[in-house]
Structure 1
Amino acid sequence: MQQLLGLEPLTAFETIRDNFILYLKTAYRTRFKQLENEKDQLLKSPGPLFKPPYVELLPKYADSKFYLNGLGARELPELKGRIEEFKTLVEGHLFSGNNKLYAHQFKMLQQALAGRNCLITSGTGSGKTESFMLPLMASLVRESRHWPAADQPDPEQLTWFQDENANEDARISQRKHEEKGRPAAMRAMIVYPMNALVEDQLARLRKALDDTALWKKYEETFAGNRFYFGRYTGNTAVAGKQLEKSEKKTRKKKENLDYDENKGKKNLASLKKMAGAYRDLQKFLRMKQENEIPIRDDEVQ
């Protein structure tokens, strides 16, 4: 694979294809020359084995003139007094301070911090993740200036659950030491159309927000306060008491009874309506037979 990195895309594609075909021909070789020629033609024809490559030409995205580690109060006035804390949080794991921000990333950061609603669309490799993640982190840092210092965490906070005899009463909340004065709220929600898209970004978030090397910085920079995140999918357990099987069966049976009762009421109403219509039709035909009303024969189908 290392040898392919220096090749242009089409040559790399042809090299991979030819090597794979060579493997198949070696593993399944026969002594019949005509059969081998036909097999060779089939393997080299676009079809089940490979498709022609699609090459997407990407534009060079415009750079801003700013590096992340070079930003100051002039560029980000809304972060005045907390810019260094912002850099501490995002440099390294989320964004390299030695790389220039793209123009759209820098503009997004400025506009979002100014309180504007922002929407960004750009191609592959344009740094869309950083475009919304940097303003999000900046917003958290800006808000954190108003949070009071957290107490020291309980020494057994990360070990209580290792006790085999631990029960619900022994549980120590990981945020218990932050409870005084810090408003409880969800600050942001990131929605993804599929789980695969979040895996890479989830790993980066873990490194940026929960790296053990950062714990000391949290103590020094954010007075012991930390930022938390979670992932919720269709498999995430819901809040509340989990029903036992017997309770589920009882509830299901009641739901079925309620459904049958409602269905029966609807059917009864339909039957009554049909009976009324039938009586009206009988009365109408009887009146016609007795010549009580003038009517043409073609009016009753």
Structure 2
Amino acid sequence: MTTSIDAVATSDSIKATYRRYLSSLLAVRDPKIDAALRHAIDNTDMLDKGPYLEATPPYAPGKSLQDLIAEGVVAQGFADLAGKALPLDRPLYVHQEQSIRKVAAGRNVVVATGTGSGKTESFLIPILDSLVREREQGALDPGVRALLLYPMNALANDQMKRLRSLLANYPDITFGRYTGETETDPRKAREAFAELNIDEPMLPNEILSRQEMRGRPRRTCC
């Protein structure tokens, strides 16, 4: 089977994604300054060059989440998390499948693969599966279940976007970001969220402030 790639279109997509990332990372409170910054980011030719192409072999495909649900490796209720951000019929990479199976069997895992290999799914899917199983058993009581540690705020911010897309329609699992940027006061935290996440809805299951996380930790916190 022969596949092809539109190098120009792919390059444009990567550039646009990078610019959106910078816009979210560098958002400012003043509307005029924010608009000027976004215009500068969108129109400068100093951020990228290329495209440059490098062929790399694909990671070996494994079974899909749908298959793992059918086998009982992943909870039946995990299907409620299905969506664009987490399609159940897409094949996992073999190392993702192995990680999910080992965690389900009670094993500890270390995943060491290249950039873009889906390391996050290797540990995030088992975490979500565990929470779904607790919910099915009626045991999803308040309390922190998992901590995801990142060396930089930018990586934590990127993870938050993923969690928002995954958990937007699953309010039983709560999550939050606890970094040096996290406001203590709930009102200030909501204001900061609105200013830095323009046109993005505020989810009821995202905990925004330190005070809320400390005072009443709910089901999970990242």
TM-score between the two structures when normalised by the length of structure 1: 0.42
Distance in 1 between residues matched to 2:178 and 2:47, nearest whole Å: 38
Larger RCO, structures 1/2 (Cα 8 Å, 6+ apart): 2
Please say which of residues 92-101 and 230-239 is displaced more in the overlay: 230-239
State the partner residue of 1:185: 143
Q: CA RMSD in A?
A: 3.3
Shift of 1:196: 1.6
2:87 is paired with a residue whose SS is coil
**What is the aligned partner in structure 1 of residue 99 from structure 2?**
108
Q: How far apart are the structure 1 equivalents of 2:48 and 2:141? A: 56
Distance 2:179 2:56 in 1: 33
- Native 8 Å contact 1:95 1:130 kept in 2: no
Q: Alignment partner of 2:66: what SS?
A: helix
Q: Taking structure 1 as reference, are residues 49 and 143 closer, same or farther at Cα in structure 2, changes over 3 Å only?
A: closer
Question: Which residue of structure 1 aligns with residue 33 of structure 2?
Answer: none
From 56, 59, 62, the equivalent of 1:61 is: 59
Measured in 2, the distance between the counterparts of 1:110 and 1:60 equals 21
Change (3 A) 1:204 1:52: closer
Q: 1:70 aligns with which of 67, 71, 74?
A: 67
Equivalent residue number for residue 6 of structure 1: 6
Number of residue pairs aligned between Structure 1 and Structure 2: 148
Question: What is the distance in 1 between the residues matched to 2:7 and 2:181?
Answer: 43
Query: In 2, Cα distance between the equivalents of 1:49 and 1:107?
Result: 38
- What's the counterpart of residue 130 of structure 1? 121
Partner of 1:84: 76
1:85 is paired with a residue whose SS is helix
After superposition, residues 1-301 of structure 1 pair within 5 angstroms as 6-7=6-7, 57-64=55-62, 66-74=63-71, 76=73, 79=74, 83-89=75-81, 91-147=82-138, 183-211=141-169, 214=170, 226-237=172-183
- Per the alignment, do residues 68 and 7 of structure 1 end up closer, same or farther by CA in structure 2, a change over 3 Å counting? same
Aligned partners of 2:103 and 2:109 also within 8 Å: yes
Render the CA deviation track for 1:35-59: whole Å, top value 9, x for unaligned. Answer: xxxxxxxxxxxxx998898765433
Contact 1:94 1:205 in 2 (8 A): no
1:117–1:49 distance in 2 versus 1, CA, 3 Å: closer
Q: 1:85·1:141 contact (CA, 8 Å) conserved in 2? A: yes
User: Which structure's residues are more often helix, by fraction?
Assistant: 1
CA separation of 1:195/1:58 partners in 2, compared to 1, >3 Å: closer, same or farther?
farther
Distance 1:49 1:207 in 2: 27
Asked whether the 8 Å contact 1:93–1:204 carries over to 2, the reply is no
Give deviations 1:234-269, integer Å, cap 9, x for gaps: 132459xxxxxxxxxxxxxxxxxxxxxxxxxxxxxx
Unmatched segments (≥5 aa) in structure 2: 16-45, 186-222
Following the alignment from structure 1 to structure 2, what is the Cα–Cα distance between the partners of residues 97 and 133? 15
> Contact 1:68/1:97 (CA < 8 Å) preserved in 2?
yes
Q: CA deviation at 1:113?
A: 1.4
Percent of pairs with identical residues: 40
The answer as to whether partners of 1:58 and 1:123 remain within 8 angstroms in 2 is no
Q: 1:74 to 1:210 in 2, by over 3 A?
A: closer
Quick check: 2:77–2:133 contact (8 Å CA) kept in 1?
no
Match of 1:172 in 2: none
CA deviation map 1:146-202 (0-9, x unaligned): 326xxxxxxxxxxxxxxxxxxxxxxxxxxxxxxxxx543210000111122233331
- Which residues of structure 1 form unaligned runs of 5+? 17-47, 149-181, 216-225, 240-301
**TM-score between the two structures when normalised by the length of structure 2:** 0.55
Q: CA 1:71–1:227 in structure 2 vs 1: closer, same or farther (change >3 Å)?
A: same
